[in-house]
């Protein structure tokens, strides 16, 4: 019997409320503060991006592009973090507001 085949749609990632709250909190902080450093590391752990965090890449980076040359691991890590950042921004913009 023939089977109707289709290409699977990509699923949007989902984030816990705690993850979104920490992401948004860090968005409003200076990257030079100790609180940002600690929060950034915790957020990386929550998102499974600790390897990227150790190459000094994080989802709160607002830069236009990677500052490392293409042959560096950090170059690819920047793109990984950017992809997650875009998903976090989308999730934050569509989440219900708490009054």
pTM across the whole model: 0.81
DSSP string for residues in 26-54:
HHTS-TTSHHHHHHHHHHHHHHT-HHHHH
pLDDT value of residue 94: 85
Asked, for residue 1, whether it belongs to a domain, the answer is no
Tokens of 1: 């019997």
Asked, for residue 10, whether it belongs to a domain, the answer is no
Q: What is the pLDDT along the chain (99 residues), one digit of tens a residue?
A: 555 555 545 556 789 999 999 999 999 998 899 999 999 999 999 999 999 999 999 999 999 999 999 999 999 999 999 999 999 999 998 866 655
Q: Give the whole-angstrom CA distance, residue 84 versus residue 49.
A: 9
pLDDT value of residue 1: 53
Asked, for residue 12, whether it belongs to a domain, the answer is no
pLDDT value of residue 49: 97
Whether the CB-CB separation of 13 and 50 falls below 8 Å is answered with no
CA of residue 93 relative to chain centroid, distance: 14
Asked, for residue 90, whether it belongs to a domain, the answer is yes
Burial 61-79 (b: 16+ CB within 10 A, else e): eeeeebebeeeeebbbbbe
The number of distinct structural domains making up the chain is 1
Asked, for residue 89, whether it belongs to a domain, the answer is yes
Asked, for residue 38, whether it belongs to a domain, the answer is yes
Asked, for residue 5, whether it belongs to a domain, the answer is no
pLDDT value of residue 2: 57
Asked, for residue 11, whether it belongs to a domain, the answer is no
Range of the domain at 88: 17-94
Q: Give the whole-angstrom CA distance, residue 97 versus residue 25.
A: 15
């Amino acid at each position: 019997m023939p089977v109707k085949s289709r290409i699977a749609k990509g699923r949007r990632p989902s984030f816990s409320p705690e993850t979104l709250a920490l992401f948004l909190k860090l968005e409003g902080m200076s990257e030079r503060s100790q609180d940002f450093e600690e929060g950034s590391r915790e957020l990386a752990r929550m998102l499974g991006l600790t390897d990227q965090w150790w190459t000094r890449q994080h989802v709160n980076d607002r830069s236009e592009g990677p500052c490392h040359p293409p042959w560096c691991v950090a170059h690819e890590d920047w793109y990984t973090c950017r992809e997650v950042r875009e998903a976090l921004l989308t999730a934050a913009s569509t989440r219900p507001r708490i009054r």
